[in-house]
Amino acid sequence: MKIVKTTFDKIKKLRANYLNSLPEFQELFLEIMVKDSDFYLLHMGEETVGYAIKNSDSVLLEFYVADKYISSSNDFFQQVLKELSITEIYCKSFDALLLSCCLQSSFLYKIIGVLYRDYVAPLVAKDAEITMQKSALSSVKFLLNQDDSIKELFETEAQLNEFIRHENVFEFYKNNEFIGCGMALRTNPDWIFCDLGVWVNPLKRGSGMGAQIILNLRNFALKNDLKQSCGCAVENIASQKTIEKSGFVSRHKLIEFTIK
């Protein structure tokens, strides 16, 4: 097999096959990383058998092999690890091929993220006094002046501007008091999936406002025919409790495998 560095456009069709093959959709945390990563096509003679994506920290983010080559996938996987000098792998637990290859190699691993794809029922009643308003560019300064923990929703001012221009960013109020903000971000513009993110004003934490924000975001997504998901770091117990109060449950994890 030959591994050839390429562009995102050259793997786009194969990647659509990969994303469509998954029983659940991509995680936004990974999708954001993909944009700034390196892309490789896997060739066997004249045929393209799959692709791989590696970020700047030598973390393998995606590995895909077409169905007709699955029987040789572990050999391809080992070659990718060696030639691309992979040090770690981020694997969604519902990515059967990548998970199988990692387990077959007996790599050390740890859970780094909790992925919510299933919705059962909220554990709290919706608070009718909470209102939501869509953020405008005039809101940027206001949001940037909040507690530094708001950076859990965006990394830079430029990214916040981008989200407000092209995505769905909301501010939430109760009795005219600012309780927090939330986002419904399209995971990928070619699909109808979105990730729900929430930040609660520190003065309002511990009162169930996070779950209320998610309930409102979910209603917005449903009205706009968007399929919702959530995710958070495994050590962020507060976020997990908030997400689960709003009705989401997790059957899946994000796993970090370390190459020995």
100-148 tens-digit pLDDT? 999 999 999 999 999 999 999 999 999 999 999 999 999 999 999 999 9
The span from the CA of 196 to the CA of 228, in Å, is 7
CA distance 46 to 220: 47
Give per-residue pLDDT as tens, 166-215.
999 999 999 999 999 999 999 999 999 999 999 999 999 999 999 999 99
- Mean pLDDT across 34-40: 97
* Percentage, residues of the chain above pLDDT 90: 99
Q: What pLDDT score does 202 carry? A: 95
pLDDT at 260: 78
Q: What is the mean pLDDT of the chain?
A: 97
Residue 232, pLDDT > 90, answer: yes
**Is pLDDT of 152 > 90?**
no
Domains in the chain and their CATH numbers?
Answer: 2-106 (3.40.630.80), 118-251 (3.40.630.30)
Q: What is the pLDDT of residues 43-71, one digit of tens each?
A: 999 999 999 999 999 999 999 999 999 99
CA 165, CA 162: separation in Å to the nearest integer? Answer: 5
Task: Provide long-range contacts, Cβ within 8 A and 24+ apart, for 12-17.
Answer: 14/41, 14/48, 14/50, 14/51, 14/64, 14/66, 15/51, 15/62, 15/64, 16/190, 17/64, 17/66
227 falls in which pLDDT band (50, 70, 90)? very high
User: Looking at the predicted structure, is the pLDDT value of residue 78 above 90?
Assistant: yes
Q: Read off the tokens for 28.
A: 């936004």
SS3 assignment for 41-90? EEEECCEEEEEEEECCCCEEEEEEECHHHHHHHHHHHHHHHHHCCCCEEE
